[in-house]
Structure 1
Amino acid sequence: MTRILRFIQSSDPRGGGPIEGARRFAQTWNELGHTQDILTLEPHDAPILPDYPGDIFHLGQPYGRGPLARYRYSKKVVPWLRENASKYDAIIVSGIWRYQAVAARRALKNSNIPYFVFPHGMLDPWFNKDKPYKVPFKKLSWLLVEGPLLNSAKAVFFTSEEEMRQAKNIFKPYHVNGMVVNYGAPDLVGDKISQAQIFRKMVPELDGAPYLLYLSRIHPKKGCDLAIAAFASIASKRPDLWLVMAGPDKLGMIPKLRAQATALGIMDRVLFPGMLEGDAKMGAFREAEAFVLPSHQENFGIAVAEALAAGTPVLISDKVNIWREIEADGAGIVGPDTVSGTTAVFQSYAALSESERAEMRDRARKTFKSRFDVDNAARSLMAILQDRS
Structure 2
Amino acid sequence: MRILHIVDRMDPKAGGVCQAIRMIIESLKHRNVESDVVSVDDPKMRFQDDFKILAFGPAENPWQYSKKLLPWLICNLGNYDTVIIHGLWQYYSFATYKALKERNGEKPVVFVMPHGMLDPYFQNAPDRKLKAIRNKIYWQIIERHVINGCDALLFTCKTELDLAKLPFKPYKPKIEKVIGLGIKAPPRCTTSMVNAFYDKTGLTNSDDFLLFLGRINRKKGLDLLVKAFLQLLDNIQMPKLVIAGPGINSDFGLEIINLIKTRPELKSYFIFPGMLTGDLKWGAFYACEAFILPSHQENFGIATVEALACRKPVLISNQVNIHNEIVAFEAGLVEEDNLEGVLNLLSKWMIISNKNKEMMTYNAEKCFKELFQYQSIANKIIELNNSMNEKYFEYSVEG
Q: TM-score, normalised by structure 2?
A: 0.91
Over 3 Å counting, the alpha-carbon distance change for 1:171 and 1:271 in structure 2 is same
Over 3 Å counting, the alpha-carbon distance change for 1:271 and 1:206 in structure 2 is farther
Deviations 1:158-214 (A, max 9, x none): 112111111114111110222222112221114432211111111114463011000
Over 3 Å counting, the alpha-carbon distance change for 1:156 and 1:110 in structure 2 is farther
Deviations 1:128-170 (A, max 9, x none): 1221222332222112221111111111111121111111141
2:308: which partner in 1? 308
1:119: which partner in 2? 114
CA contact (8 A) 2:189 2:282 kept: no
For these two proteins, the number of residue pairs brought into alignment is 381
1:342: which partner in 2? 342
1:17: which partner in 2? 16
Q: Distance in 2 between matches of 1:12 and 1:355?
A: 41
CA contact (8 A) 1:211 1:243 kept: yes
User: Percent same amino acid at aligned positions?
Assistant: 34
Deviation at 1:346, TM superposition (A): 1.0
1:353: which partner in 2? 353
Structure 2: state its 5+ residue gaps: 390-399
* More deviation, 234-243/130-139: 234-243
Structure 1 residue identity aligned to 2:15: G
1:365: which partner in 2? 365
Match of 1:203 among 183, 201, 224: 201
**Alignment RMSD (CA, Å):** 1.8
Q: Distance in 2 between matches of 1:251 and 1:360?
A: 35
Structure 2 residue identity aligned to 1:366: K
Equivalent residues in 2 for 1:200-279, closer than 5 Å:
200-206=198-204, 208-235=206-233, 239=237, 241-249=239-247, 251-264=250-263, 265-279=265-279
SS of 2:23's equivalent in the other structure is helix
Structure 2 residue identity aligned to 1:71: W
Q: Which runs of 4+ in 1 moved over 4 A?
A: none
Over 3 Å counting, the alpha-carbon distance change for 1:346 and 1:387 in structure 2 is same
Q: Distance in 1 between matches of 2:228 and 2:14?
A: 26
Deviations 1:16-35 (A, max 9, x none): 21110111221232233221
Deviation at 1:379, TM superposition (A): 3.4
CA contact (8 A) 1:159 1:180 kept: yes
1:83: which partner in 2? 75
Structure 1 or 2, whichever has the larger Rg, is: 2
SS of 2:212's equivalent in the other structure is strand
SS of 1:120's equivalent in the other structure is coil
* More deviation, 185-194/290-299: 185-194
Structure 1 residue identity aligned to 2:38: L
Q: TM-score, normalised by structure 1?
A: 0.93
1:66: which partner in 2? none
CA contact (8 A) 1:5 1:37 kept: yes
